[in-house]
Amino acid sequence: MTKIPLQFRHNGRDVAIFVDGGTNLLVALRELIGDMTPKFGCGQGGCGTCSVLIDGELHLSCLTLAETVAGRSVETLDGMKQGPNLHPLQRAFAENFAAQCGYCTPGMLMAAKALLDRNSAPSRADVIEAISGNICRCTGYEPIINAILAAAGGRASA
């Protein structure tokens, strides 16, 4: 089976890889680019831990055919921190105990970023809706919701 050449922007950097037909974006990111931040959870669109931003829009990388991102911009959690500094969302997650086992965290952070990029002062209901496609089996969601609201509040006052 012939490989398909694929170029796109990965966290602001141009990347070029060869993928097999039918390869999903999650596999391309993890196995071909070496970005391990998006996780494989269910492979069905039910858990959200593989969430990435494609041209700023939240998508599930496990359900995205890799070649459909040709020429587009893909952002993952790996691109979130700014140099040695954590992103305000990452800091808020740490300070509000929003991560336990951590497996859902990459998807939660990308879903939260997709929300705050569009709405810098979300309501609690907005936050709940924004992470409604992301499953967490540890925290019971409350610390995650509080962390996202804290990050939004901090950003607004900064």
Partner 1 sequence: MAVTVKTFANASEATGALASDRAARYLGGGTLVMRALNEGDVSISTIVRARDQALTRIDVSGPRVTLGAGVTFARVLAERDLAFLHAPARSIGGPAVRNMGTVGGNLFATNPYGDFTVALLALDATIAVQGGFGSRDIPIEEFLQGRERQAGTLVLSVSCTRPASSEAFRYRKIARIKPKGGSVITLAAHLPVSGGRIAGARIALGSMAPTPIRARAAERTLEGRSLDAATIAAAASAATEGTSPSDNALGSAWYRREIVGVYLRRLLAEQE
Residues engaged in binding partner 1 (CB under 8 A)? 1, 4, 20-24, 43-45, 48, 51, 57-60, 62-65, 67-68, 111, 114-115, 128-134
Kindly state the smallest distance separating residue 44's Cβ from partner 1, in Å.
Answer: 5
Nearer to partner 1, 65 or 94 (CB): 65
Kindly state the smallest distance separating residue 47's Cβ from partner 1, in Å.
Answer: 10
Nearer to partner 1, 68 or 120 (CB): 68
Nearer to partner 1, 51 or 105 (CB): 51
- 54: number of Cβ within 10 Å: 18
- 78: number of Cβ within 10 Å: 17
The dihedral region occupied by 56, where left means phi > 0, alpha psi between -120 and 50, and beta the remainder, is left
Sign, Cα dihedral of 137, 118, 15, 69:
positive
Nearer to partner 1, 40 or 95 (CB): 40
Backbone torsions φ then ψ of 34, nearest 5 degrees: 85, 15
Longest alpha-carbon distance in the chain: 55
Kindly state the smallest distance separating residue 67's Cβ from partner 1, in Å.
Answer: 6
**Nearest residue to 61 (alpha-carbon basis) of 37, 10, 26:** 26
Kindly state the smallest distance separating residue 134's Cβ from partner 1, in Å.
Answer: 7
Nearer to partner 1, 86 or 138 (CB): 138
Q: Tell me how far apart the alpha carbons of residues 48 and 131 are, in angstroms, rounded to a whole number.
A: 9
Kindly state the smallest distance separating residue 57's Cβ from partner 1, in Å.
Answer: 5
